[in-house]
Chains A and B, each alone.
Chain A
């Protein structure tokens, strides 16, 4: 589904090397954990998929399409096929949980009827059935993450990208979020999870790719996170 071919990405005109010669293949329906220390290049790799960043060299293919052929003005089309949970959550503070989810659906052009019907279902799926009317500052960290996941799922993407969704959560909450992502994966959505929570990834026995200073050092089918 997604192919990275010898991707290099630098910042500040080459001073900071975020990704070095990264090659990676992700299949449809896979659950992939991307692990590595802070600054290893996880978020950068994800940003390349959503066209927020462009590689310095190398090629990225999604469903056979070369991303370098997509003009910035057309990137929205790709983004509609991808749901993203951001490291910094990015919920609109003055909209309720339900409105945040509905906003994403409006933007992608879904009709009102579908939005009204789907928002409660999605909130139910992430376990926030009764919290739809709450504003982000009235929600706990875990609940905010759930809203962010709900929003990422709103337009029924084929690929869900979650960048550090468990970052500030206690073990119990982190595990619940992880289980939610696994459930979503079971429905057929490809999931890429970036995290540095070792214990968490060890539990799930799925593919783990390890990044160290911008390079892939391990790629384990059902592996344990080694660092």
Chain B
């Protein structure tokens, strides 16, 4: 069992090793940092793609405009009837009055519109039901059902913008980004392991005298391998810290553009806000993981007696 003394010595050896061949260590840290930056970018891009596609999906709905003759009671009845359709996720009723109120509010400081409204005797706006489906593919069927219902005479117009082609294309792109990202992550991951492994291999060779003596005077395997595990871990931590500090300004820069694109602030949980810590943890965590894998391979292959 490794004692506390041994543990602190192992950590100390590892860090001293790392410092002794700092140029070599720097290579490993830089490669680790690049890989973790790529990983971070991929995660961010992936999240943005997800957000944009779900934002667009959320905005798809069908608006049913009723004729001016349709009373609120009738529309409420229609709403109750349509809610029975299994495709329907939600129906929102906007009465003509409410719609007008909202319109007035929105254009409250436009005197021309205010004046025009005053001149009108009747409410120019219609009562509306805004219907959303559970799934994008359900909209065509849903619209058919609405058109064929017995309430059809009350309906003035059904407004549905068919965004499906666009959304499908967006989904294909998102999926493409994801596949490419996984491939890229694997390539960078392997490169990192290879470079780190080679770095550790070199340091093991440069210290083989010491290692041999350690063995002969009774060092446990754990004690001999430990410093290299510490080194690999340290590469991962430094690499993760580097990439995290690179990605922070990048995110700040992107956030502005992204917010404009979506028309609202990015979700609190996204990498741009509270999720940033998650991103850091992922980068450092993966860095440590790769470092440990590399050092396990290196010590397995080059520390056998």
Q: Chain A residues in contact with chain B, CB under 8 A? A: 50, 52, 72-73, 76-80, 82, 84, 86, 90, 92-93, 103-104, 106-112, 151, 154-155
B76 to chain A, nearest CB (A): 79
Q: How far is the CA of A82 from the CA of B220 in the complex (A)?
A: 14
Q: How far is the CA of A112 from the CA of B223 in the complex (A)?
A: 16
Q: Is B105 engaged at the interface, CB distance under 8 Å to the other chain?
A: no
B3 cross-chain contacts in A, Cβ below 8 A: 109
A76 with B220: CB separation less than 8 A: yes
A106 with B9: CB separation less than 8 A: yes
A167 to chain B, nearest CB (A): 18
B218 with A107: CB separation less than 8 A: yes
Q: How far is the CA of A108 from the CA of B210 in the complex (A)?
A: 14
Q: How far is the CA of A108 from the CA of B215 in the complex (A)?
A: 10
B210 with A92: CB separation less than 8 A: yes
A50 with B216: CB separation less than 8 A: yes
Main secondary structure of the interface of B (DSSP, over half): helix
Q: Is B5 engaged at the interface, CB distance under 8 Å to the other chain?
A: yes
A109 cross-chain contacts in B, Cβ below 8 A: 3, 5-6, 223
Q: Is B172 engaged at the interface, CB distance under 8 Å to the other chain?
A: no
Q: How far is the CA of A111 from the CA of B7 in the complex (A)?
A: 12
Among B210, B216, B223, B305: residue with most chain A CB under 10 A: B216
A84 with B216: CB separation less than 8 A: yes
A108 with B218: CB separation less than 8 A: yes
Q: Chain B residues in contact with chain A, CB under 8 A? A: 3, 5-6, 9, 209-210, 212-221, 223, 305
A155 with B217: CB separation less than 8 A: yes
CB < 8 Å neighbour of A92 from B213, B215, B220, B221: B213
A118 to chain B, nearest CB (A): 14
Q: How far is the CA of A32 from the CA of B263 in the complex (A)?
A: 90
A84 cross-chain contacts in B, Cβ below 8 A: 216-217
Q: How far is the CA of A52 from the CA of B217 in the complex (A)?
A: 12
Contact sample, A vs B, 30 pairs, CB 8 Å cutoff: A50-B216, A52-B216, A52-B305, A73-B221, A77-B218, A78-B218, A79-B215, A79-B216, A79-B217, A80-B218, A82-B218, A84-B216, A86-B216, A90-B216, A92-B213, A93-B209, A103-B213, A103-B217, A104-B217, A104-B218, A106-B9, A107-B218, A108-B217, A108-B219, A109-B5, A109-B6, A109-B223, A111-B5, A112-B5, A151-B217
B221 with A155: CB separation less than 8 A: no
B114 to chain A, nearest CB (A): 86
A62 to chain B, nearest CB (A): 14
A92 with B209: CB separation less than 8 A: yes
